[in-house]
Amino acid sequence: MDINPEYSAGGALAACQSVLQGSAVTITRLNYDGHDLPPRAVNKRIDAFNVITQLVDFSHHRLWRGENLVHDGGHKRGTLAITDLRDEWRCHHLSPFDNVRFQIPFSYIRQFAFEVGRPEFTHIRCQPGTRDDVILGLAQALLPAFHNPKTASQLFLEQIVLAMMTHLAQNYGGLHFPSHRKGTLAPWQEKRATEFLSAHVNSQVSIDEVAEACNLSRSYFIKAFKETFGKPPYRWLIEYRVARAKDFLASDMPIAEIATACGFADQSHMTRIFSEVVGEPPGHWRKHSR
């Protein structure tokens, strides 16, 4: 088994970990059998996020985001956690645990979104305590590979990651992937429509122009777009602008400048639309997300 123990700064034995390296995603199994694990160091802030699933019941740990204690308790087997590694996280494990974590760069989300023709897909979030048996099953499928990471099949790892990303995008990223049946856009039309709309996020665009780009009549395009994406083109564009705004809100960029960059008429227009879609104004969302 190619499993390496971690050590704390003082040299004390810490958790055991085994790492699988895909082309973009790092997958780590981290486990410990004791109750006396020293607190982990604060993570290095990077442009990525962790998707973590618990392989067994985990009775107690404390988790800090920055200086704020955000969790003091346990997680059941199969519990999913998604943590933004642009923030600082610190964890103190107070009971035995065994989990698998997928470290996914945000650049990989952008690449995935481009390849599936869904440029509005920019983030993944789930409620604390969410149980997800699909992610648990995918992690369990990797357990044999963790025993000998050097011989793990890259093709198999990539297929697991692709299945996970599709599942996360649909269930925690708000994407709609219909089965291609009569009345939906063809894959090239999906790509053409979303590329056309996203390219005109800062300007006025008519449905006729997008329909023409897809070689469809206006009425058929509207129906097929809604059947494909679960929403009409205008709503898609609104939600895409809000998704872009969320990315900018992770920075210190003034909200008025974000509004202009995302195609809103002004800050008040963005605040009204953002509040309608998200349920709170951008300033509050920025504060809570931090």
pTM equals 0.67
**Statement to judge: residues 246 and 271 lie in one domain:** yes
Calpha distance 181→160 (Å, rounded): 26
Q: Clarify whether residues 17 and 149 are in a common domain.
A: yes
Q: What distance in Å separates the CA atoms of residue 154 and residue 145, rounded to the nearest whole number?
A: 10
Note the pLDDT of residue 3: 42
Are 157 and 192 part of one and the same domain? Answer: no
- pLDDT, residue 228, reads 87
Give the residue among 122, 117, 143, 121 at the shortest CA–CA distance from 28: 143
Asked if the structure places residue 181 within a domain, the reply is no
> Does residue 202 share a domain with residue 64?
no
Rounded CA-CA distance 78/53 in Å is 6
Check residue 246 and give its pLDDT: 87
Q: List the domain range (segments joined by +) for residue 210.
A: 187-289
Residue 162 φ/ψ, nearest 5 degrees: -65, -45
Sequence-separated (6 or more) residues with CB below 8 Å from residue 199? none
Q: For the chain, what is the domain count? A: 2
The H-or-E segment that residue 93 falls in is strand 89-93
Same domain, 18 and 129: yes
pLDDT at 269: 93
Tell me the per-residue pLDDT of 4-52, one tens digit each, with 9 for 90 and over: 444 444 444 567 889 999 889 999 999 999 887 888 888 888 989 999 9
Determine the pLDDT at residue 61. Answer: 92
Query: Is residue 178 in a domain?
Result: no
Are 63 and 143 part of one and the same domain?
yes
Q: Which tokens is 207 given?
A: 């449905």
Measured CA to CA, the distance from residue 131 to residue 112 in angstroms comes to 24
Residue 165 is assigned to a structural domain of this protein? yes
For the chain, count helices (H), then strands (E): 11, 9
Specify whether the CB–CB gap between 70 and 64 falls below 8 A.
yes
Q: What pLDDT shows up at residue 181?
A: 67
Half-sphere exposure of 74 (CA within 13 A, CB side): 14
**Predicted confidence (pLDDT) per residue in 122-156, tens digit:** 778 888 889 999 999 999 999 999 988 888 888 89
- Name the domain boundary from 142, 172, 202: 172
Tokens 């297929």 correspond to: 159
Regarding whether 242 and 218 lie in a shared domain, the answer is: yes
Residue 179 lies in a domain: no
- Helix, strand, coil percentages (3-state) for the chain, rounded to 5, are 40, 20, 35
Using 70 as the pLDDT threshold, list the residues of the chain that sit under it.
1-14, 117, 119-120, 176-181, 290
- Distance between CA atoms of residues 42 and 216, nearest Å: 53
Domain boundary residue, one of 172, 195, 219: 172
